[in-house]
């Protein structure tokens, strides 16, 4: 069944806002009205997912709904923000009721988990594309930044790295690896971790383009160099089964949506408790140094040449 634009919005996107008194005007007017919390700063981010660029054709609608919001929540996590409101621009080839029902199931399950409300958007016809703008809040001056890493700080990552990149490689080669694909399609934004790192981490970024590329952004913003040990990069069992001890996909592949952050050396011990509380591994992978650039060492302490630092749209690699 296909729906008109307004039926579609009413049926799939308009929901009541129980337990929220910060949205006096939501979906249905020309714009939404929200009430920011006194003493907090607004953190705003946007990310778009296009079919064929950010997810392969054939990705289940429910996973697309999840991921479109997850990648935005991941940016809020990297800033240490509490998610609050989001808007969504949806471009659809056709308005298929079943597809939309699955899409919003994935979208709203994640939204409810993090208490973020859909307050408006735009719906147009065109190639499948989902643009979300997410808004969150942090206490004044409390946002985590890419700048701030200091020589001597330790570099850590959450979770395990590289599964999504291997899954994508597998799909492109016609192999199905369900455990890895789950990581590609259902990334978990590290909201609780980001908030816990406020006042503790000296810098933070979420891993969307690849560990080396994203850590490179921290180094550039902080005016520092870093050395990481490839054998400390946390790999999942599924990763090792698929790629053995080849760590390159974990270093250069994107779409992990884990956090990479730095803390002063004497704060590393404080992270054990946090890791246990969040049931999320936090693994030290290297150290911030003076200078510029990233060095990745192999098991023998030799520097690994990196063929391609991460995904770039319009990059020379022709992607």
Q: Is 121 in the site for ligand ADP (CB under 6 A)?
A: yes
Instruction: Candidates 95-103, 118-126, 198-206, 297-305: pick the segment binding ligand ADP (CB under 6 A).
Output: 118-126
- Cβ proximity to ligand ADP: between 82 and 123 the closer is 123
Contact mark string toward Mg ion, 270..309, x via CB under 5 A = ----------------------------------------
- Using CB under 5 A as the binding rule, whether residue 29 contacts Mg ion is answered as no
> Which of Mg ion, ligand ADP, none does 99 bind, CB closer than 5 to 8 A by kind?
none
Of the candidates 69, 71, 79, 88, which one interacts with ligand ADP according to CB under 6 A?
88
Minimum distance, C-beta of residue 214 to Mg ion, in the bound complex (Å): 38
Told to check if 24 binds ligand ADP by CB under 6 A, we report no
312, 188, 117, 206: CA torsion to nearest 10: -40
Which is nearer to Mg ion, 31 or 269 (by Cβ)? 31
Contact partner at residue 90 from ligand ADP, Mg ion, none, CB < 5 to 8 Å by partner kind: ligand ADP
The answer to whether 131 contacts ligand ADP (rule: CB under 6 A) is no
For residues 130 and 219, which CB has a smaller minimum distance to ligand ADP in the complex?
A: 130
Q: Which residues pair with 48 in a beta bridge?
A: 131
> Residue 128's binding partner, choosing from ligand ADP, Mg ion, none, with beta-carbon cut-off 5 to 8 A by kind?
none
Question: Can you give the three-state secondary structure of the chain, one letter per residue?
Answer: CECCHHHHHHHHHCCCCCCCCCCCECECECCCECCCCCCEEEEEEEEEEEECCCECCCCCHHHHHHHHHHHHHHHHHHCCCEEEEEEEEEEECCCEHHHHHHHHHHHHHHHHHCCCEEEEEEEEECCCEEEEEEEEEEECCCCCCCCCCCCCCEEEEECCCCHHHHHHHHHHCCCCCHHHHHHHHCCCCCHHHHHHCCCCCCEEEECCCCHHHHHHHHHHHHCCEEEEEHHHCCCCHHHHHHHCCCCHHHHHCCCCCCEEEEECHHHCCHHHHHHHHHCCCEEEEEEEECCCEEEEECCCCCECCCCCCCCCCCCCCCC
Binding partner at 122 among ligand ADP, Mg ion, none, C-beta below 5 to 8 Å by kind: ligand ADP
Asked whether position 266 contacts Mg ion by CB under 5 A, the answer is no
Strand locations in 202-307, DSSP E?
A: 203-206, 225-229, 259-263, 282-289, 293-297
Query: Is residue 235 part of the contact set for ligand ADP (CB under 6 A)?
Result: no
Closer residue to ligand ADP in complex, CB, 117/219: 117
Out of 4, 16, 21, 30, name the contact with Mg ion by CB under 5 A: 30
The piece of 22-30, 166-174, 186-194, 279-287 that touches ligand ADP (CB under 6 A) is: 22-30
Nearest to 191 by CA among 111, 81, 270, 42: 81
* Binding partner at 9 among Mg ion, ligand ADP, none, C-beta below 5 to 8 Å by kind: ligand ADP
Indicate whether 132 belongs to the interface with ligand ADP (CB under 6 A). Answer: no
The residue within the footprint of ligand ADP, chosen from 4, 29, 94, 316 (CB under 6 A), is 29
Bridge partners (DSSP) listed for residue 87: 120, 133
Q: Which residues of the chain form contacts with ligand ADP (CB under 6 A)? A: 9, 13, 27-30, 88, 90, 118, 120-123
Q: Which residues of the chain form contacts with Mg ion (CB under 5 A)? A: 30
């Amino acid at each position: 069944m296909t729906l008109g634009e307004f039926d579609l919005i009413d049926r799939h996107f308009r929901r009541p806002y129980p337990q929220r008194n910060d949205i006096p005007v939501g979906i249905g007017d020309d714009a939404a009205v929200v009430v920011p919390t006194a003493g907090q700063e607004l953190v705003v981010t946007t990310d778009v997912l296009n079919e064929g660029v950010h997810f392969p054709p054939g990705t289940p609608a429910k996973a697309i709904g999840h991921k479109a919001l997850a990648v935005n929540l991941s940016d809020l996590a990297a800033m240490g923000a509490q998610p609050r409101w989001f808007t969504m621009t949806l471009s659809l080839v056709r308005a298929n009721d079943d597809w939309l029902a699955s899409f919003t199931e994935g979208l709203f399950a994640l939204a409810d988990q993090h208490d973020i409300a859909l307050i408006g958007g735009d719906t147009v016809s065109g190639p499948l594309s989902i643009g979300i703008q997410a808004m969150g809040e942090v206490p004044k001056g409390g946002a985590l930044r890419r700048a701030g890493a200091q020589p001597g700080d330790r570099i850590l990552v959450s979770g395990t790295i590289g599964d999504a990149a291997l899954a994508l490689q597998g799909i492109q080669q016609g192999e199905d690896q369900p455990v890895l694909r789950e990581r590609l399609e259902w990334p978990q934004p590290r909201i609780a971790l980001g908030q816990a790192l406020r006042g503790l981490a000296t810098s933070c970024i979420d891993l969307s383009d690849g560990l080396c590329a994203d850590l490179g952004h921290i180094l550039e913003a902080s005016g520092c160099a870093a050395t990481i040990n490839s054998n400390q990069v946390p790999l999942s069992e599924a990763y090792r089964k698929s790629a053995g001890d080849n760590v390159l996909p974990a270093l250069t592949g994107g779409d992990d949506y884990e956090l990479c952050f730095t803390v002063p050396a004497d704060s590393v011990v404080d992270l054990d408790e946090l890791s246990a509380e969040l049931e999320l591994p936090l693994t030290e992978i290297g150290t911030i140094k003076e200078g510029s650039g990233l060095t990745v060492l192999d098991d023998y302490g030799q520097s690994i040449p990196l063929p391609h630092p991460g995904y770039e749209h319009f990059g020379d690699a022709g992607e």
